[in-house]
Every structure is written in structure tokens, then in C-alpha cells.
Structure 1
Amino acid sequence: MKKALLALFVSGVTIGAASAQVEIGLKVSPSVTHLRTDSPAAYGFQNEQSKLGIGGGIIVDYFFGQNYAFSTGLELTGKGGTISYFDPARNVRVEQKVGLQYLQVPLTVKLFTNDIATDTKLYFQLGGSLNAAIAGRIDGEKRFTDPGSNTPNVETKASKYVIVPDAGLRAGFGVEYQLGQSTKVLAGLSYHRGLLNIDNYFGDERGFKDVELKNSEFALDLGIKF
């Protein structure tokens, strides 16, 4: 009986692997990003300006049905934006340009339509991503000083401005066109909404209470799969 069950399990795995289809490709994603802010009125944190960014990486679509795929990969992308806040230590309003770089692993599902034209399908994508901040700049510099802090002449690494981990939701749609037997090109739009408060400075270093900074991104996804 055990041998029969083992044989059945191995057979099922083999059939599943044989029928599964994996498509791998590359993409580039120009984007518009900003930081969503929230704070008590005394600090008055605001999003002042969006930031143009560029990202890209590897696409891996693992099909578990004719029109259904688990989509993942590895992405490198830029995020951030310009924020402002009231600094009670100096009684002035301060504006900061924040630039961040993230490595991301998407965890999404793609749903494809049947052909809407010859070799052309629409797709819809929904899921999330696990992200890690790997670099940062404040006002274009890798290090910054804060005149309102208790150590105004001490430089702080911009990468320490935010916590490393982040997680986000993403939703998107697009069109995929088959060029040849295994080559496809795609174009789509996607929205990425950060879920975690990434502030690692104002709460710890300045003693500001209940300050939240969260990522948001709108991206144009252009790719090719082989």
C-alpha cells in the first residue's frame, strides 16, 4: 500500500511538473512615486512633490492553468518624494527630498483573458510584494545633518532614515502580445501601495510622536518574456 501511494504521489508530481509552464522575462518600469504622510497637527507632515523613478528586473510567471499564473521575480526600483514638516526646535517649516532604492519580490496572481485580437491578451494582476530598502539619499546626499536635532553637526547616513523591511499591495492591468513561439512583449500600468510605516528617524532621533511615512508608486511596466 505504501509503495502504491508513493508511486501515485510521484506520478502526480511528475504530471504536474510536465503540464506546468514557466515563462521568464525582463521588464523596465518608469514610475511616479510619493510618500504618504500622517502626523499630529503640531508637526504638520505633508507630501509636497512626487518623484520620477525607474525600476526593472526579472519576471517569472508560473502557469497553473491556461489563463492563470503565479507571478514573482526580483525587482530593483527607486521610491521616495518630497515631504515637509514643522520643526518646533527651530520654529520653521522644513522641506526634505527623500530618495530610496528598494529590492522587491512580487507575490501576485495574473489572470489572462482569451485572445481579444490575434495573439493578443489582456491581463490583470493582484497581490503584494516583500521589499527591502538598500540605499537612500536626503536632498541628493548619502549623508545629512539635521540642524534641529540634539547633535546638529553630526552626519547621519541617509540609508538609516527608514527601516529596511517594507511590504506592499499591488494591482495592475496590461496587454500581452505573442511575437513568436515563445517570445511575448507586454505593456501595463500598476499601482504599488506600501503598508508599513518606514520612518526610522523622526520617532527615534527627534522624539516626534505618531509620525508615519508610507510608500506609494504608479508604474508603467514594459517587458519581454522568452
Structure 2
Amino acid sequence: MKKLLFTLLALAGTSTAFAQVEIGLKLSPSITSLRADGPSDNKFENGDGKLSLGGGLLVDYFFGENYAFSTGLFLTGRGGTFTYVEGTIPFQQKIAIQYLELPATVKLFTNEVSPGTRVYFQLGGALAVPVGTRINGEKRYVDPTNQETKASDHVKFIDANVLVGAGAEYQLGSNTKIFAGLSYHRGLVNIDSYFDDERNTKIKDVTIKNSEVALDLGIKF
């Protein structure tokens, strides 16, 4: 029992010794797309992706020399295009959504691979709430039956995604670091609230999810 207690105290002391918070700014240009699925008769297909831009405040809390809990608050852009058929008529929707996102991830750092440079790997997830939506460039959408709806009513109030990434971090000075990496964000939540909820239609069981590949660029202080 005493050995176990001493071991736990030693681990706690080690974590405290390495406890360090780094705050920075991140900018993430990205390519986003939508994964659409629906009844086979309606021929839902993924369309073109879109270029988006996100960024915000980054916080890395180190609980070990090479381990950090990474979070922050980011404004991110997602969306894309999908097509479907209703009756015999093809339709296309281009959705652009702006999210306020809170990630919760773990970063694993290597030792220095060259002077001042470390490689990192990142894994975790994020929750996001939409703060702005446009369909075909407009805040309102007129459907094939001439029914008008708000673009914001087409997406659900929350999204969740899993995040994996990797990159490199370079020490510029005693308190300044720059980093660059790539990350993949795969949406887990069906964001569609249009076909089943907002419109009286025979098209049911539609699923639309987000995907994003981002270039992460930033500086930490």
C-alpha cells in the first residue's frame, strides 16, 4: 500500500513539474465536403467540395514533457455540394456553414528531430454549433414546390467530429513557437434537418455529414 501511495505521489509530482500552458493563434485553410446518402430512388450523390477558412485561439496544456491536452475556440467553415433526384428532376444544393467549434484532443510530441524541431501527432474530437448558413449563396432557400425556408433551418443545432492530424513545431525563441500540420475532421452527426423536418416531402431517411481536410498554421507564445 505504501509503495502504491509513493508511486502515485511520484507520478503527480512529475505531472506538476511538466505542467505548462502554451497559448497561440491558428489559421486553417481547408477543403470541405459533404457525405450525402438517401433512398436509392432519389440518387443522392456527393458533389464538389469547397474552399473554407477557419481559425481562432489555441491552448496546449502539457501534462508531460511530450504530452499535451489541446483545445481552443475556433470559427470554422464547412459544407459542400450534393445532388439528388425528385421525380425525374435533378436538383443540387450547395451548403456553406460557419461553426463555432470547441476541440478536445491529445497531442503527442517526439523528441527533437533536428535542433528546435519536434513532430507531433494529434487525436481527439470536437463539438461545434452553427452560427451561419447559406444555401446556393443565399440565406433563404426556395424548394421545387416554391416553399421558402431559412438556410439555418436546414442544419441541426450541433455537430461532432473526430479529428486526426500530424505536423511539426519549431522553437523560434524562448517563448515563441511556430507550427504547421495537416488534419482530417470526419463528421459523426447527421446535420440534415430539411428533408425530414422542414419540408413536407416523400424523401425520407436522408443523411448528410461533414468532412474536412485542413492545413493548420499557427504560432504559440
Scaled by the length of structure 1, the TM-score of the pair is 0.89
* Cα separation, 2, equivalents of 1:156 and 1:13: 55
1:155 shift after superposition: 2.4
RMSD: 1.7
Mapped pair 1:54 → 2:47: no
Given that 2:54 and 2:75 are in contact with CA atoms closer than 8 Å, whether structure 1 keeps it comes out as yes
* Cα separation, 2, equivalents of 1:36 and 1:60: 30
Given that 2:25 and 2:218 are in contact with CA atoms closer than 8 Å, whether structure 1 keeps it comes out as yes
| CA offsets 1:43-93 (integer angstroms, 9 cap, x no match) | 1111110100000011100000000000000010110001100012xx300
Q: How does 1:39-118 map to 2 (within 5 A)?
A: 39-88=38-87, 91-118=88-115
Matching residue within 136, 148, 154 for 1:155:
148
* Cα separation, 2, equivalents of 1:191 and 1:220: 9
Given that 2:102 and 2:126 are in contact with CA atoms closer than 8 Å, whether structure 1 keeps it comes out as yes
Given that 2:18 and 2:64 are in contact with CA atoms closer than 8 Å, whether structure 1 keeps it comes out as no
**What secondary structure sits across from 2:56 in the alignment?**
strand
Given that 1:134 and 1:164 are in contact with CA atoms closer than 8 Å, whether structure 2 keeps it comes out as no
1:13 shift after superposition: 8.4
Q: Which residue matches 2:216?
A: 221
Aligned length: 210
Matching residue within 184, 189, 196 for 1:191:
184
Q: Tell me which stretches of 4 or more aligned residues in structure 1 moved more than 2 Å.
A: 12-19
Matching residue's letter, 1:133: P
* Cα separation, 2, equivalents of 1:51 and 1:141: 16
Q: How does 1:125-164 map to 2 (within 5 A)?
A: 125-148=122-145, 152=146, 154-164=147-157
| CA offsets 1:104-157 (integer angstroms, 9 cap, x no match) | 111100000000000000000000001111110000001111023xxx2x4211
Gaps of 5+ in 2: 1-8
Q: Which residue matches 1:181?
A: 174
Go from structure 1 to structure 2 and tell me whether the alpha carbon gap of 1:15 and 1:64 turns closer, same or farther (over 3 Å shift): closer
Scaled by the length of structure 2, the TM-score of the pair is 0.91
* Cα separation, 2, equivalents of 1:189 and 1:108: 15
Percentage identity across paired residues of the two chains: 58
Given that 1:84 and 1:96 are in contact with CA atoms closer than 8 Å, whether structure 2 keeps it comes out as yes
Given that 2:15 and 2:64 are in contact with CA atoms closer than 8 Å, whether structure 1 keeps it comes out as no
1:15 shift after superposition: 8.8
**What secondary structure sits across from 1:203 in the alignment?**
helix
Given that 1:35 and 1:215 are in contact with CA atoms closer than 8 Å, whether structure 2 keeps it comes out as yes
Mapped pair 1:36 → 2:35: yes
Go from structure 1 to structure 2 and tell me whether the alpha carbon gap of 1:116 and 1:14 turns closer, same or farther (over 3 Å shift): closer
| CA offsets 1:16-47 (integer angstroms, 9 cap, x no match) | 65641000000100000000011111111111
